[in-house]
Each structure stands twice: as C-alpha cells, then as structure tokens.
Structure 1
Amino acid sequence: MNIGPFRFAPPWWGVAITVMGVAILSGLGVWQIERAHYKERLVAEHAAARRAGPRHLHLDAAAVDGGRGPRPGYRYIVSGHYDAAHQLLLSDQVEGTRTGYRVWTPLVLDSGVRVMVDRGWVPKTGDRSTPKPNPQAPAGRVTVRGYWQGFPQPGLRLGDDRQCGLTGWPRALNYPPAATVRCQYRAPVANGLLLLNPKAPGGFLRDWDEDAIGLRPWAHYVYASQWFLMAVIALIILVVVNTRRRA
C-alpha cells in the first residue's frame, strides 16, 4: 500500500498478531470499564446503607425460599438463639503468620430460619489429629448487631464442590457456596453472613473490612485507559516497523 512517498507493506502474520493483540487489549479495557460501572453502583449502595442505619431483620422460610433476604452492605439487628452445637468453620484463614478458622454459628430466628453469624477468627492448634475447635456461644436469647455480606468466594472454584455428606460437628468447609451451607441443615438458611459487630460480646478476633469495595471506580478507568493505550501503541508499532520510503 502506497501512502504518498511511503510504502506500507506488513507481512500477513504481523497483521494477524497485531489484530489479535488489539482485540485482546481492547477487550481488557472494556472489561475494566464494566468493572468501574459496577463499582460505581456498589459505592452508591454502600452510601445508601450508611444513611439507612441498622435495620431489624425478620425472615421466614417463604422469604428465604423466594430469594428475598438481607441486602449486602447494610447493618442489621437480629434476635434469636445461637445453635452452638452445629457450627461451621471456614478453613485456612490466615491472620498474620497464623492459620485458623472463621467461626460461623447459626442464629435461629423465631421463624426457624438460620442466619449464619460470623463470630470471628480462632487459631488452629496442633496437627491433623487434633480435634477442630468448637467455641462456645452465648446461651439463651440474644440480640445481635452486624454487617451483612454474601458468602466469601474463592479466587477460583473448580467444579461442583458441595460437601453435603459430612458427619459430626463442627464441620470445616473451604469457601462453601450457599447451597453447600444450606445442605448442612434441615432448616432454611439465609443466603449470606452477618459479620458480628467488632465491639459485640460473644465473638473472637474480628477485623472486618466493612468497605469491601476494593479498587475505586476511578482506578478501573485508569487501568482501562492503559489497556486502550497499549492497543494504540501496538498499531503504531505495526505501522512504523512496516513503513518504508519508496525509492
């Protein structure tokens, strides 16, 4: 292709590689923009939650089965009694240099619905032969204040990792999805966790990040601009390397 006194003649494989690279880089840029839009909605939801203040939580089986429940990011006040005999332990949780568990204790509401309360971190002691910790919980009727979030997600989940055939209590699970948590009980379980207020009694080590937004929207826009800039640079390199002045 002649362009004035210059000739642009890239090899076919150079064009193919550049087109593929530009497509990938542009796709990453679009993905970052979508993440920025998601974070903008998340920031707005968290701001609304802070303005709303704590809410009293009332759930029945119909609401849980219908997918209705607490909203992530909001603070709730819940009354019921702890079922300390049927606790779950979230495995391989690290605090500093120590490994341990997060203790999830069911709070049984008057309706019979279980709300999983994350009461904090406890250390792992001994070796594999040592029994798992089974911390005590306050007895009788309690009123719990906390922050609602979904069940934590692993960086990568491979296949269907439901563990519904376990026996004995407490049961140690590794980033269980909601279905796995529910199949441990013969009663409805709310979809999510109530992170026990750090100042509330009856808990353990709690350093909750109640602003679990991560990167702010502007940071995603910066990353998007970098990906798009790299795509433009790839095109410029293709042109510069394959353009020669005609004799």
Structure 2
Amino acid sequence: MYRFLFTPRWLGYLALAVAAAVVMVMLGNWQLSRYQERTAINNRIDRADSIAPVPLASALARPTRTGTAGDAPATDVEWTRITVTGRYDSANEILARSRTVDGQVGFEIVTPLVLSDGTAVLVDRGWIPPADGGALARPQVPPAPTGTVTVIGKIHFSESKAGALERRDGRLETRRIGLPTLAPELPYPVYGAYVLLTEQQPANDAAFSQIEPRHENSWQNGGYAVQWWLFAALALAGFVWLARREAQGPTTPDARLLAEEAEHYARVIAERG
C-alpha cells in the first residue's frame, strides 16, 4: 500500500520535508538561546539593586594604554552594581545627543572620572532636556562636583555604531557612547565599559534624570522558538498527510468513476491484446 514511498519522487518529498523540519528546529533552538540570554540579562537588572556594590576593579579589567579603551567585560558583568572613587574631569565632558527618556529627546552627560592610578571610567551622570530651540540645542549642563567623588552605578557595555564625533566650543558631542571611538580623544587609559550613575557623594544635581536599564523583550524570542518548532512539526505532518492521501487513492465520486473507467479500459485492452 505504501510502496510508492520508495519511488524517487516520494523519496525527494521526504528529504525535502525532513530538511525543512531540521532547519526549522535549528532556528527554534537559536531563538530559545536568545530567550535564555535575554532572560539572564533581565534577571541581572532585577537583582542589581538588591546586591551590595563591588569595587570597579573587581568587575572590569584595568586599562593600561592611553588612547585606547580597556578590554570589554564578559557578558555576565553587564549591569553589575559597582562603586568607584575619583575626581571628575569636566574639561573632557561628553554630550551624548538625541537620547530619549520617557518619550522626550535630550542629552546624556558623560563625564570621565579619573582614579588615583591615572586611569578613568566614563560616568553617565544622567539625562537633561535640550535648551529652547530644538532637540539638538545644547543644554545648560550642571557642573560636576569638584574634589573627590564616590560614584555608585551599574556597568553598561560600550555602544556599537558610535558614529562620528564632533567638537563644539571645545566639548565633545556624539550620538552613541562608543568607548573605542571616545578613548582616543581622552588623555588617559579608559575602562572598557562605562557606568550609569545611580548614587553619588556629593549628591548628583537634581536637574538630571537617572538613566534606567532597559529590559530585554525575551518573550518575543520564546514565542518565535515555539513557532519554528510548530512549523517543523507541520512540515512532517504535511508529508504524512500527503502520503496517506496518496495511499487511499481517489475519494471523490468523480475521481472514483474515472478510476473505475480507467481500470475497465485497461482490462479490455489486456483481453484484446
């Protein structure tokens, strides 16, 4: 009844169905891995505020060369809560433009914090709205505290696609906080990640809005994984359905009539032959 499955045509159908199912399962597994990665990031974000901050040096590798950023940290270091003490270098402050908070476009102010060993970590002190005149109008930036400052914050990876830098009135402006692009503009070794400020002594200026970590949409990847696995099952189920339909033969009245007539003429021809 199912001997037709061993014909070249049906073996080709089977190979195509199996290949499609394998590819779909692999895509589902990749989406599952993305779901797990994003879930782990969200868990780190949620746990960060309940864990005591650790020294910066225990989380990030110390940079050694001026003009380059230090080594990027391991994936599981992102959003670690750290504490670090140093002095702000306001002369090399960086304005990150076109940054959105609560639907408003403004600037994030990134100020190098120079440590006692001569290295520096970039600290995102927060977001402020632009001046009157449009989203790119340079704001009045609250000055960074002078003297020794202790910062508590969360590690943020360097942003990709940093784009071009420009200087206006001696101050750096950028669209993205990309450390490999910013480090050559600074006169000291720079750590390979920057810090989102959450607490500071002396206190941060009230004009700043704190930058909150963004949770990843892990459930989207979970949904895609289930969809790909269902598609794989449907590919195999479709082959089985077609094979059963082929094995059962024509089922409609017209199809049965045609089959009976074909069988009759085949017998007549055989008898006359």
Equivalent in the alignment of 1:214: 216
User: Partner of 1:102: helix, strand, or coil?
Assistant: strand
The aligned amino acid for 1:104 is V
What residue number does 1:186 align with? Answer: 187
Of 46-55 and 78-87, deviating more is: 46-55
Judged with a 3 Å threshold, the aligned counterparts in structure 2 of structure 1 residues 68 and 234 are, in CA distance, closer, same or farther, namely closer
Which residues of structure 1 form unaligned runs of 5+? none
Distance 1:47 1:121, change over 3 A: closer
Distance in 1, matches of 2:187 and 2:5, equals: 77
Equivalent position amino acid for 1:145 in 2: I
User: Which residue does the alignment assign to 2:167?
Assistant: 167
Q: Which moved more, 1:33-42 or 1:96-105?
A: 33-42
CA distance in 2 between counterparts of 1:246 and 1:4 reads 13
State how far apart, in whole Å, the 2-side matches of 1:140 and 1:51 are: 29
Matched, 1:25 2:24: yes
Aligned equivalents of 2:137, 2:222: Cα separation in 1: 49
Q: Return the TM-score normalized by structure 2.
A: 0.67
Question: Does the residue aligned with 1:183 lie in a helix, a strand or coil?
Answer: helix
- The separation in 2 between residues aligned to 1:112 and 1:23, in whole angstroms, is 55
Structure number with greater Rg is 2
What residue in structure 2 maps to residue 246 of structure 1? 249
C-alpha contact (below 8 Å) 2:130/2:137 kept by paired residues = no
Superposition map of 1:1-247 within 5 A: 3=2, 21-39=20-38, 42=41, 53-58=52-57, 63-65=62-64, 67=71, 71-125=77-131, 126-127=133-134, 130-131=137-138, 133-153=140-160, 157=161, 163=164, 166-168=166-168, 169-197=170-198, 200-202=203-205, 204-209=208-213, 214-215=216-217, 220=221, 223-241=224-242, 243-244=245-246, 245-246=248-249
Deviates more, 1:48-57 or 1:76-85: 48-57
More helix by share: 2
3-state DSSP of counterpart to 1:85:
helix
Equivalent-residue separation in structure 1 for 2:136 and 2:84 (angstroms): 37
Quote the offset at 1:5 in angstroms: 9.7
Q: Give me the TM-score of the superposition, normalised by structure 1.
A: 0.72
Query: How far has the Cα of 1:146 moved from its partner?
Result: 1.3
- Residues in 2 aligned to 1:201 and 1:38: alpha-carbon distance in whole angstroms: 33
| CA apart distance, 1:171 | 2.0
CA contact (8 A) 1:56 1:78 kept: yes
The total of aligned residue pairs comes to: 233
**% same residue:** 25
SS in 1 for 2:109: strand
Q: 1:235 to 1:56 in 2, by over 3 A?
A: same
Partners of 2:196 and 2:211 within 8 A in 1 = no
1:109 & 1:41 partners in 2: Cα distance? Answer: 31
C-alpha distance in structure 1 between counterparts of 2:4 and 2:85, whole Å: 81
Q: 1:105 to 1:34 in 2, by over 3 A?
A: same
Given that 1:102 and 1:122 are in contact with CA atoms closer than 8 Å, whether structure 2 keeps it comes out as: yes
How far apart are residue 76 of structure 1 and its match? Answer: 1.7
In structure 1, what is the Cα distance between the partners aligned to 2:39 and 2:135? 44
| Letter of the 2:232 counterpart | A
Whether contact under 8 Å (1:87, 1:104) holds in the other structure is: yes
